[in-house]
Amino acid sequence: MQNDSKIIKGVAKGDKQAFKMLYDRYSEKVYNTALSYTKDTEEAEEVTQDVFMKIFKSAATFKGNSLLSTWIYRIVVNTSLNYVNKKKRLTLVKNNSDLPDVTDFQHPGVLLEQKENAAALFKAMDCLPDNQKTAFILSFIEDMPRKEVAKIMETSLKAVESLLQRAKQNMRQELEKIYPNRRKSDN
């Protein structure tokens, strides 16, 4: 199995086979991360396309100062945030008011018994600013080590832990607001 360094060098030379190998290795990770941001399977696919286009075009700029996965995750985080923020701005301009209510996002991979709770989790994530959302997605949804999250976000481990603490606090407050409605639907 070829290592990441050889693959990215191949992609930089325009080797289509190397690009396919890279895609097979990283497409699921890229897609799932994008899905956590967009909460829509089609939009996540659009972001995934953009990410791999960027990887193909800028493979030659990868100097190997970080792991290839770190570099790729940085691209997917930035592309996802830009996509989501652009969509928010366009929606606000179109509606000329607050953001419209959206139906709860059902993640395709969630266990059946957790679907409702997972939908509440993604809803609560909406209240987070970009940096807290990124730290939360990479740590709790993508299950990455905090050290790796810090490298992707180009910040310190301490900063990531602080972001996660604040993210959980904010989400907890948001979930406590949702809880009364949940109890009503149970009864």
Residues at the site binding other proteins, with contacts judged by CB under 8 A: 16, 20, 23, 27-28, 31-32, 35, 41, 44-45, 48-49, 52-53, 56-57, 107-111, 114, 117-118, 120-121, 124, 140-141, 168, 171-172, 175-176, 179, 182
Q: How far is the CB of 79 from other proteins (least distance, A)?
A: 14
For other proteins, give the closer residue by CB, 74 or 168. Answer: 168
Query: What minimum distance in Å lies between the beta carbon of 95 and other proteins?
Result: 29
Separation between Cα atoms, residue 79 and residue 139, nearest integer Å: 18
Cβ 179 to other proteins shortest distance, Å: 5
Q: Which is nearer to other proteins, 57 or 89 (CB)?
A: 57
Phi, psi of 175 (to 5 degrees): -70, -35
In the bound state with other proteins, the residue whose beta carbon lies nearer, of 91 and 141, is 141
| DSSP assignment of 149-178 | HHHHTTS-HHHHHHHHHHHHHHHHHHHHHH
Beta carbon nearer to other proteins, 146 or 168: 168
Q: Which residues, in sequence order, are CB contacts of 84 under 8 Å at separation 6+?
A: 37, 38
Q: Which helix (H) or strand (E) holds 183?
A: helix 157-186
Q: What is the dihedral of CA 81, 82, 84, 87, to 10 degrees?
A: 170
Closest to other proteins by CB, 40 vs 91, is 40
Q: Provide, rounded to whole angstroms, the least separation between the CB of residue 11 and other proteins.
A: 11
Cβ neighbourhood burial of 160 (10 Å; 0-12, 13-18, 19+):
buried
Q: At closest approach, how far in Å is the CB of 41 from other proteins?
A: 7
